[in-house]
Amino acid sequence: MIQKEDNYPYLKPPEGFICEKSDVPGPFVTRAIFKDAEGNPIKWNCRYYRKHQSRPDKRTGSTWWAPRALGWWISIFFIFGSTFFALGALPPYRSLVGDYYNGLTFFIGSLFFTSAAFLQYLETINTPSNLISSVHQKLKIFSWEPKRIDWWATLVQLIGTLFFNLSTWGALIHFHFIRTLDKLVWGPDAFGSICFIIASLLAWMEVNHSIWSFKPHKISWRIAAYNLIGSTAFIIAAAASYVSPNSGHFYSLVITNLGTFIGGIFFLIGAVLLFYERTMVESDDHL
């Protein structure tokens, strides 16, 4: 919904700037048009601004090779994390490497997820709070910015990855116990999956500037959609891995494996698209 009153996003526009229009899904501003003191329009998009103006990021390198770019490493770590989770969910892989190394695959994958989520959180909190991004700001490790939808999304996702670290490590050190339960490839922990789907929903709202839109031609929309599908698959897998107190068995081996595999694949696709989003020269999303 576009609002014409002075509904400012979290950032501070310079003196003399006026907010002409803004999109406000819930309590968050995700997109706006400002006019400077001379009346020139300046467009601001929350996601694009974060992905291209974050202080730690170096706008160098190509789409596929840019080791000095923070966004490039975010893509790389998400790709590895997604691949390890999808691989670990394949029964032939488990049969090949055994219970312990299959559990290790999930644990390593969760560490890649946490690394990517932490860098994404750093990217978010070090996005300039001034509309004129050349204003110098110190590098931050933590911040409290509850008015930002991207702050909530990246923080909740980071917490979710920490839950995955705990659940996969616990499963790894108790792999003998897991093996007695039909040699199940465990799904993501329920709390981590809940965090992931909350974070994905917030990112979805940020990209759509509302609860819903259908814009598959936009890279950012496709990334948010793939991540939302992946999170949904993860939470289904987590529900299917519930252990019945009567039988002592997980609810469904097939659903757990399939949900984890599908979730990993969709996260992988979204992570690859982050390469393209990082090198976009301008936002593909306008008021």
Average pLDDT per run of 10 along the chain, which is 287 residues long?
49 81 87 88 91 80 91 97 97 93 94 98 90 72 93 97 89 61 50 95 95 93 98 92 64 88 98 94 70
> Which residue type is seen at 94?
R
Residue 26: which of 283, 208, 158, 219 has the closest Cα?
208
Q: What integer pLDDT is reported at residue 131 of this predicted model?
A: 77
Judge if 12 and 58 occupy the same domain.
no
- Could you tell me if residue 283 is inside a domain? no
35 three-class SS: strand
Distance CA 260, CA 86 (A): 6
Check whether residue 134 and residue 30 sit in a common domain. no
If asked whether residues 213 and 124 sit together in one domain, one would say yes
Q: In this predicted structure, what is the pLDDT of residue 190? A: 84
219, HSE (Cβ side, Cα atoms, 13 Å): 17
Residues 250 and 214 in one domain: yes
Measured CA to CA, the distance from residue 9 to residue 22 in angstroms comes to 8
Q: What is the pLDDT of residue 23?
A: 85
Residue-by-residue DSSP string for 241-267: TPBPTTT-SBS-HHHHHHHHHHHHHHH
Structure tokens at 253: 């081996």
* Domains identified in the chain, total number: 2
Whether residue 27 sits in one domain with residue 62: no
Does 155 lie in the same domain as 23?
Answer: no
In a 10 Å sphere around its CB, with 0-12 CB exposed, 13-18 middle and 19+ buried, how is residue 186 labelled? buried
Instruction: Report the candidate in 117, 88, 61 with the shortest Cα–Cα distance to residue 260.
Output: 88
Are residues 176 and 268 located together in one domain of the fold? yes
Asked if residue 28 and residue 95 are part of one domain, the reply reads no
Q: Are residues 32 and 103 in the same domain?
A: no
Same domain for 193 and 101:
yes
Same domain? 183 vs 112? yes
Q: What domain range includes position 16?
A: 2-46
The pair of structure tokens assigned to 92 is 């032939």
* 207 shares its domain with 260: yes
